[in-house]
């Protein structure tokens, strides 16, 4: 009888919302500070837009919307003799829920190409849906917060994005390391060992080095068909040590035979020099094993790790050269970053880093002693709200204990009491719930008292 | 080849988003000022939660999600011999997209009843989806902005909500009339004419009086089975005129035989007196023909009309006595209001009432003359961003005309120019795009100049 919600989805109550809004509004403010403007796309996209963009596995994880009306009439009766769900899906469903913000963004850019000013800098904060098996920290509905700039090859975009990431986490007070790599270095490595066609296998395997260690990565490289010689040539690269400068120089030597590898190192140097010279709050780490799984990236790769909590990457991104090619608009380069709101939420919870503003926001509750007192209270409350105070009045003439209990339970810091004597004087008794202190004040004085307390 | 989005859905670009955010953030601020706190519920609800809550027509307008995996295996082969889409739906779909925010809110209250502090005041701003035929002003995906308080019978809640509505439109600078009625008065009328079972027919018909006029309403009442005598008894009520006080007194006489009608008048008086004594920006109108179609309401009914634009109601709400009964939690009374964001957007567009803040937000663009200049620019930009200025740097060394063209097209009010002489001095040339005026300034001075200009 008790109603429930679909597995893998969540309700967010007032406290969770206040905390999530704090994260989103921090990210949103920094996006705006860096000149990104917001767009929104529909929750539903045509399946023709979504299918084939996330691999075969991704196609299965799309939530598909049943066509309206008599959808069965589009299914050939012959198809029903031996019903195949996959084939029937294409007959009874035309739309799906968005799986990420990247494909809808690419679709948006192509559809609105004539209205956009290039380079186009957009951010987007919206939920996405995936029919994944739910587990701890993995949901079927979750928010993504993406910023991308398309239509410019300049590495200034990378430098700006890294600064943006640094500023977001500085404001959230989360200590981070920003890991950096370049896909062209990975291509250089594949070229060096004479297996450029194995680039995907190599990156997928070495991406796991942090999780499974160098030995298991080697096993996986062998399983993926690399020769013993090739595996051994990868080793020194994965083990290069020293300062960032030393490692870049060493890498430059090792990859001296690869043009694309050299280009990757040049790009890394330029980004690192730029960011370093501008100054960074975060630790910046060159990580040659960083690949972020996706084949999608063609240049800079960025990943953010929280330093004080053991959790996967909390933000990631990189440069891609062909975002919109699949929609018939080739050659558009871009670079983007995606903040993992749910993991950032977990980190803030683990470290208890929420500021006072990320809590229930009502500042004062007026107690209700009866009709006349309530009317006098509402008049004062109106005046205080006009001065920016967030307040409410207990709507019913309940027992004092019950009314105070509400303020207590909700963490409302002040209670305003208006009885006969207060009414006669046009004043209110303001009670500070933390200290118990009470003062008889005019509404204007109460506004000042509440504002002064918030500032502390 | 050119990609598109499902009909009835929309993309929102930067300008539209800035305008929509202005509307949402205005509403959100006022909700908070009145002590409402935000919740969010999942886009997908179980169909068992949604079905049967919006009538037979509503069930058809729900977007249903196809079950994942081999969904056809749950369909009895016998069912496929003569496939009936409606019956098959229940086998292949368990979830649907939310149709409004009210049913998910009711589900939320019941599911989390033990965690909630009553009265529970929540607001919710999220999209909803309806498989309606798209037409001008009617979309398949649109936002609702709802505030409700449940767990209190007090009319103080109505008075507070009307003030809240008044404050939202005062801030948006839209002149409005707030129309008021009470469902109990409508019940009294049905009782008076001896046809209490015809209440729904009567309210549906007289709800249309503004659109089709009194004669056509009479025709509809006859069609709905009311006797000529009953129809004639309704007339004087619909035609009552005079001041609000006069009309209430006249109504009181006419409904003197109906207990529920008297109660409705008493409630109307109390709400009107309270609101009037607190003072209202809007015009307050008693409208006995106001029914808002929904059977759902049991007391106060509220509707808002824009005075300067011909458009349907832009906000509406009322009191209901049994929101959660259908989920097994009877007797919970509440009152709520729903802002029509899309219509408010249309009104603001028609009257061009957007403030400067509801536009592209970037305040300054740094021109890019080359690597050294760009690095110097980024250092100054960093300093200015720390002081709160929203800015960007043109990422490529493009022609001056192209760079200035971007600032112009995006409406960025200031351009910062850093050439050799500026670099040598550690200054920038700030150009005001509106006046053409240029000044050589330090970054700190530029911050002041930009902030001073925004204030004007």
Query: pLDDT digits over B71-97, tens only?
Result: 999 998 888 988 899 999 999 999 999
- Per-residue pLDDT tens digits for A98-133: 999 999 999 999 999 999 999 999 999 999 999 999
- Per-residue pLDDT tens digits for B227-285: 998 888 888 887 888 899 999 999 999 899 899 999 999 999 999 999 999 999 999 99
Whether residue A5 and residue B64 make contact (CB cut-off 8 A), yes or no, is: no
Pick from A6, A13, A68: CB nearest B46: A6
Tell me how far apart the alpha carbons of residues A304 and A312 are, in angstroms, rounded to a whole number: 9
In chain A, what residues touch B65 (CB-CB under 8 Å)?
Answer: 63-66, 97
Return the ∠ at Cα B284 (arms to B281 and B289), rounded to 5°: 155
For residues A1-18, give the mean pLDDT: 93
Whether residue B382 and residue A274 make contact (CB cut-off 8 A), yes or no, is: no
Whether residue B360 and residue A37 make contact (CB cut-off 8 A), yes or no, is: yes
- Per-residue pLDDT tens digits for B186-199: 999 889 888 888 87
**A113 to chain B: closest CA residue:** B2
pLDDT at B456 over 50: no
User: Is pTM, for the whole model, over 0.80?
Assistant: yes
Contacts of B75 (CB under 8 A, 6+ apart): A83, B88, B91, B92
Tell me how far apart the alpha carbons of residues A47 and A52 are, in angstroms, rounded to a whole number: 9
Whether residue B129 and residue A44 make contact (CB cut-off 8 A), yes or no, is: yes
Three-state DSSP at B183 gives helix
Tell which A residues from 218 to 257 touch B, by Cβ distance under 8 Å: none
In chain A, what residues touch B157 (CB-CB under 8 Å)?
Answer: 395
Sheet-wide strand order for A141-150:
A37-38, A120-129, A141-150, A334-339, A315-320, A300-306, A176-182, A283-286
Helix residue ranges per DSSP H, A363-427? 371-386, 400-410, 420-425
Whether residue B66 and residue A12 make contact (CB cut-off 8 A), yes or no, is: no
pLDDT at site A208: 82
Tell me how far apart the alpha carbons of residues A416 and A394 are, in angstroms, rounded to a whole number: 10
* Cβ atoms of residues B343 and B314 within 8 Å: yes
For residues B217-223, give the mean pLDDT: 90
In chain A, what residues touch B130 (CB-CB under 8 Å)?
Answer: none
- Determine contact: B119 vs chain A, CB below 8 A: yes
For residues B422-433, give the mean pLDDT: 97
Whether residue A129 and residue B11 make contact (CB cut-off 8 A), yes or no, is: no
* Confidence grade of residue A456 (pLDDT, cut at 50, 70, 90): very low
Distances (CA, A) of A301 to A31, A178, A181, A267: 19, 10, 5, 11
**B25 to chain A: closest CA residue:** A25
pLDDT at A321 over 50: yes
Which of the residues B1, B6, B366 would you substitute to probe the A interface, choosing the one with the greatest number of A C-beta atoms within 10 Å?
A: B6
- Determine contact: B78 vs chain A, CB below 8 A: no
Going by C-alpha positions, the residue among A390, A387, A362, A365 that lies closest to residue A444 is: A387
- Per-residue pLDDT tens digits for B365-413: 999 999 999 999 999 999 999 999 999 999 999 999 999 999 999 999 9
What do you get for the CA distance between the two ends of chain B, in Å?
48
pLDDT at B454 over 80: no
Token digits of residue B121: 């005041």
In chain A, what residues touch B385 (CB-CB under 8 Å)?
Answer: 33-34, 167
Token digits of residue B244: 């609000």
Tell me how far apart the alpha carbons of residues A57 and A39 are, in angstroms, rounded to a whole number: 28
Whether residue A111 and residue B4 make contact (CB cut-off 8 A), yes or no, is: yes
- Determine contact: A436 vs chain B, CB below 8 A: no
Lowest mean pLDDT: which of A88-92, B153-157, B359-363, B397-401? Answer: B359-363
Pick from A5, A156, A395: CB nearest B45: A5
Contacts of B441 (CB under 8 A, 6+ apart): B427, B428, B429, B430, B449
* Cβ atoms of residues B225 and B198 within 8 Å: yes
Encode B389-421: b = buried (16+ Cβ within 10 Å), e = exposed: bbbbbbbbebeeeebbebbeebebbbbbbbeee
Tell me how far apart the alpha carbons of residues B349 and B137 are, in angstroms, rounded to a whole number: 13
Four-point Cα dihedral A373, A378, A383, A386, nearest 10: 160
pLDDT at site B435: 95
* Angstroms from A94 CA to nearest CA on chain B: 9
pLDDT at A210 over 80: no
In chain B, what residues touch A447 (CB-CB under 8 Å)?
Answer: none
- Per-residue pLDDT tens digits for B294-326: 567 899 999 999 999 999 899 999 999 888 998
Tell me how far apart the alpha carbons of residues B225 and B215 are, in angstroms, rounded to a whole number: 16
pLDDT at site A455: 54
Contacts of B149 (CB under 8 A, 6+ apart): A395, B36, B119, B120, B121, B157, B160, B161, B334, B335, B336
- Per-residue pLDDT tens digits for A140-167: 999 999 999 999 999 999 999 999 999 9
Which of the residues B12, B25, B85 would you substitute to probe the A interface, choosing the one with the greatest number of A C-beta atoms within 10 Å?
A: B85
Tell me how far apart the alpha carbons of residues B201 and B217 are, in angstroms, rounded to a whole number: 11
**B150 to chain A: closest CA residue:** A395
**A389 to chain B: closest CA residue:** B33
Percent share of chain A, pLDDT over 70: 99
Tell which B residues from 401 to 420 touch A, by Cβ distance under 8 Å: 406, 409-410
Cβ-based burial of B229 (10 A; exposed 0-12, middle 13-18, buried ≥19): exposed
Tell me how far apart the alpha carbons of residues B273 and A164 are, in angstroms, rounded to a whole number: 53
Contacts of B246 (CB under 8 A, 6+ apart): none
Sheet-wide strand order for B176-182:
B37-38, B120-129, B141-150, B334-339, B315-320, B300-306, B176-182, B283-286
pLDDT at site B263: 97
pLDDT at B428 over 90: yes
For residues A74-97, give the mean pLDDT: 92
- Determine contact: B429 vs chain A, CB below 8 A: no
In chain A, what residues touch B12 (CB-CB under 8 Å)?
Answer: 39-41
Tell which A residues from 260 to 319 touch B, by Cβ distance under 8 Å: 274, 277-279
Whether residue B11 and residue A45 make contact (CB cut-off 8 A), yes or no, is: no
Backbone phi, psi, residue A300, to 5°: -50, 140
Return the ∠ at Cα B315 (arms to B312 and B320), rounded to 5°: 120
Backbone phi, psi, residue A393, to 5°: -120, 140
pLDDT at site B294: 59
pLDDT at site A294: 59
Pick from B72, B94, B409: CB nearest A117: B409
* Confidence grade of residue B293 (pLDDT, cut at 50, 70, 90): low
Pick from A94, A119, A360: CB nearest B37: A360
* Confidence grade of residue A323 (pLDDT, cut at 50, 70, 90): confident
CB atoms within 10 A of CB B114: 5
- Per-residue pLDDT tens digits for A225-250: 889 988 888 888 877 888 999 999 99
pLDDT at A97 over 60: yes
* Cβ atoms of residues A434 and A413 within 8 Å: yes
Pick from A9, A40, A378: CB nearest B12: A40
């Amino acid at each position: 009888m008790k109603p429930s919600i679909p597995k893998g989805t969540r309700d967010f109550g007032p406290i969770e919302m206040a905390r999530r809004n704090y994260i989103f509004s921090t990210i949103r403010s920094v996006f705006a500070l860096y000149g990104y403007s917001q767009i929104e796309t529909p929750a539903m996209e045509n399946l023709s837009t979504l299918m084939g963009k996330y691999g075969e596995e991704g196609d299965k994880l799309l939530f598909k919307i049943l066509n309206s009306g008599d959808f069965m009439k589009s299914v050939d009766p012959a198809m029903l003799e031996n019903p195949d769900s996959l084939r029937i899906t294409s007959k009874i469903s035309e739309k799906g829920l968005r799986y990420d913000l990247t494909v809808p963004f690419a679709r948006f850019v192509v559809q609105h190409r004539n209205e956009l000013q290039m380079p186009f800098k957009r951010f987007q904060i919206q939920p996405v849906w995936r029919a994944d098996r739910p587990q701890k920290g993995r949901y079927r509905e979750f928010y993504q917060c993406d910023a991308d700039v398309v239509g410019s090859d300049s590495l200034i975009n990378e430098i700006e994005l890294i600064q943006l990431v640094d500023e977001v986490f500085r404001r959230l007070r989360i200590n981070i390391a920003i890991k950096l790599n370049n896909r062209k270095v990975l291509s250089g490595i594949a070229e060096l060992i004479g297996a450029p066609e194995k680039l995907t296998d190599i990156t997928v395997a070495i991406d796991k080095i942090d999780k499974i260690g160098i030995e298991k990565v080697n096993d996986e490289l062998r399983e993926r068909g690399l020769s013993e010689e090739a595996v051994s040539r990868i080793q020194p690269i994965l083990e290069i040590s020293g300062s960032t400068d030393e490692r870049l120089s060493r890498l430059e030597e090792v990859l001296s035979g690869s043009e694309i590898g050299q280009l990757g190192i040049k790009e890394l140097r330029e980004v690192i020099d730029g960011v370093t010279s501008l100054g960074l709050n975060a630790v910046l780490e060159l990580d040659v094993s960083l690949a972020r799984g996706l084949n999608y990236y063609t240049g800079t790769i960025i990943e953010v790790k929280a330093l004080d909590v053991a959790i996967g990457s909390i933000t990631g991104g990189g440069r891609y050269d062909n975002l919109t090619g699949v929609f018939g608009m080739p050659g558009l380069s871009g670079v983007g970053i995606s903040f993992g709101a749910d993991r950032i939420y977990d980190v803030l919870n683990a470290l208890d880093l929420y500021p006072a503003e990320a809590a229930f926001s009502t500042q004062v509750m007026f107690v209700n002693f009866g009709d006349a007192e309530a009317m006098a209270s509402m008049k004062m409350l109106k005046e205080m709200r006009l001065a920016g105070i967030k307040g409410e009045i207990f709507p019913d003439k309940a027992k004092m204990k019950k009314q105070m209990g509400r303020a207590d339970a909700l963490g409302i810091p002040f209670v305003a009491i208006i009885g006969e004597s207060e009414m006669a004087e046009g004043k209110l008794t303001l009670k500070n719930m933390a200290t118990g202190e009470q003062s008889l004040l005019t509404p204007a004085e109460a506004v000042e008292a509440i504002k002064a307390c918030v500032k502390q």
